[in-house]
């Protein structure tokens, strides 16, 4: 019997979407307001979903306290109140890092969490950049 447990988390972060080799006009055309050279912030919401067998003895798929602590250490402490382009190595603009789009952020989050989740469990992450714009990744 497989059940999915979900934990919500939140972080505020600044970013800028741009290609350094493109002009400001081209960046504005492709990335819109998210290309602002002076950065801007988003209130990101995250849902982490872990699917697996319910343990016969505990009745848990996984201990939610443990999941909470993993999310705090791996995601909130790393992303909250940070400038993603400047302070998170995966997105480091000066080292040709990834553009911090929702798509790239959700994959980075998934990769940071995966090693800490039981191998027999499935992991999916949903990231909300705004209440209406959200992306999800399950490793596929």
CB of 7 to Ni ion, least distance (A): 24
123 near 136, Cβ under 8 Å?
no
Applying CB under 5 A, what is the total number of residues that bind Ni ion? Answer: 1
Q: How far is CA 111 from CA 22, 105, 115, in A?
A: 29, 10, 7
For 19-53, the DSSP string reads -TTS-HHHHHHHHGGGG-TT-EEEEEEEEEEEEEE
CB of 29 to Ni ion, least distance (A): 15
Kindly tell me which of 32 and 139 has the beta carbon lying closer to Ni ion.
Answer: 32
Determine the Cα–Cα distance for residues 40 and 57; give it in Å rounded to an integer.
48
CB of 22 to Ni ion, least distance (A): 17
Sign of the Cα torsion 35, 36, 39, 41 reads negative
| Interaction of residue 48 with Ni ion, rule CB under 5 A | no
CB of 57 to Ni ion, least distance (A): 45
Residue 140 buriedness (CB in 10 A; 0-12 / 13-18 / 19+) = exposed
Give the per-residue contact string, 27-46, with Ni ion (x = CB under 5 A; - = no): -------x------------
Q: Which residues are catalytic?
A: 34, 81, 129
Interface with Ni ion (CB under 5 A): 34
């Amino acid at each position: 019997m497989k059940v999915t447990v979900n934990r919500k988390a939140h972080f505020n972060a600044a970013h800028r979407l741009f290609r350094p080799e493109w002009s400001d006009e081209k960046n504005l055309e492709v990335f819109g307001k998210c290309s602002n050279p002076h950065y801007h912030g988003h209130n990101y919401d995250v849902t982490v979903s872990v699917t697996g067998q319910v343990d016969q003895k505990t009745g848990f798929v996984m201990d939610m306290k443990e999941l909470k602590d993993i999310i705090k250490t791996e995601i909130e402490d790393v992303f909250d109140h940070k400038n993603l382009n400047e302070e998170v190595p995966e997105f480091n603009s000066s080292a040709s890092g990834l553009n911090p789009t929702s798509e790239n952020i959700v994959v980075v989050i998934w990769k940071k969490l995966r090693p800490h989740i039981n191998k027999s469990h499935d992991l999916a992450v949903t990231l909300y950049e705004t209440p209406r714009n959200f992306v999800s990744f399950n490793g596929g």
